[in-house]
Amino acid sequence: MFKYQPTWLFTVLLTWAAVAFPSLFHASGQTVSYLEYVLHGLFLLFTLFVVNESTRIGFRIRYAVLACLIAVLCGLFFISEANLILIYSVMLCSILVFYVPAIVCYGYIFTIHGIFLISHALYWQQGWLWADAAMFTAFHFFALVVTQRMQSERHAKEQLALTNAKLEATQSLLSTAAEQSERLKLARDLHDDVGHALTSLIINLDIARRTSNEEQQPQLQACYEQAKQALQTTRSVVSDKRDNVGFNLADCLHKLAQQTPRIQIQLEVVQHLDKVQLDTAQCLLKCTQEAITNTLKHAPTATCMKIQLEHERSELVLSISDDGVFTGDVVYGNGLKGMQERVSLLAGQLSLVNSKQGFTLIIRVPYE
């Protein structure tokens, strides 16, 4: 239910303690109201709730908790006159970057400082604390810029790792295609050249042994049988070269899963499929790559993905599901349209399911 990165948990607790303890246990001896204890406690609980990385908690609940955090912060402005309360706001600003666009964060910064100035000027009768507001505004902007930079760097690393994984998968695909092309060329050459030459030799030997005298027949019969055996061997080699044409899709998917950043991928291949046709393998591999890219891009809370490939009757069924929360309707952009086009070229079907448990993509293509 609750999952935290140790650094995030330590930072939240340390920051909260740095604000709450001086505010609640200051040395001036002034009486602290029970409501102030409650608000400080609620702020800690709500903050731990929104930094929780568990995917069981949906975005709507998180947004509601963020709204409660802002309300608690505003309440503290009218309960405590300590300027340290704005440090809570700096921490909250760093969290907001992960949930709302940057422009909303900038609006939040100016709004919260406006409330701070009004509360101290009109409620606490301390005058307009422009210097304090300007100083903490700078802290907010610093936290916002650093968090945005951290996000962009993480995104760049993810894209680089994913691009490398895609390149290796494509290289494996091209290598297999070149190998299969050579095998088919060799099979055709053996059949057209060596096979025809041996067939002609067998016909001539058959004529020679039928028209020869009794002394020559045993030797010609032996040559005839050896030629037939050579032709049979050639046909077996040609058949083997043609029958073994296929792509080991499972191995390629394993490599892609191992090199995908941030998301833990669970790959299940029900049957051993090592002879998938090249065009089918290319379609399924490209669709898998696009699905991983979409999850990293549109489902930032996703931590797990399950890829299942199985053979059902005369179809290959590829099922890809993640535990991310995608808000809004599914829009067929260039990525999904490309996947639909690839599947349609193979007379297959593509279906999408978006639910509270995550996003699921199912592809069915013919397979003999």
Q: For tokens 């290289």, name the residue.
A: 171
Read off the pLDDT of residues 73-93 as tens digits, 9 standing for 90 and up: 999 999 988 888 999 999 999
26 pLDDT more than 80: no
Distance CA 154, CA 11 (A): 19
The SS3 call for residue 300 is coil
Predicted confidence at residue 225, as pLDDT, reads 77
Q: Which of the four pLDDT bands, split at 50, 70 and 90, describes residue 27?
A: very low
Please give the structure tokens belonging to residue 92.
């909250």
pTM above 0.75, yes or no: no
Write the CB contacts of 21 (distance below 8 Å, at least 6 apart in sequence).
none
For residue 269, the surrounding DSSP H or E stretch is strand 264-269
Residues 258, 254: Cα–Cα separation, whole Å: 6
Q: Where are the domains of the chain?
A: 6-128, 178-243, 247-366
What number does CATH give the domain 247-366? 3.30.565.10
Name the residue with higher pLDDT: 91 or 210. 91
Per-residue pLDDT reduced to its tens digit, 140-185 = 999 999 999 988 888 888 888 888 877 877 777 777 777 776 777 7
Q: How far apart are the first and last CA of the chain?
A: 44
**Calpha distance 100→45 (Å, rounded):** 21
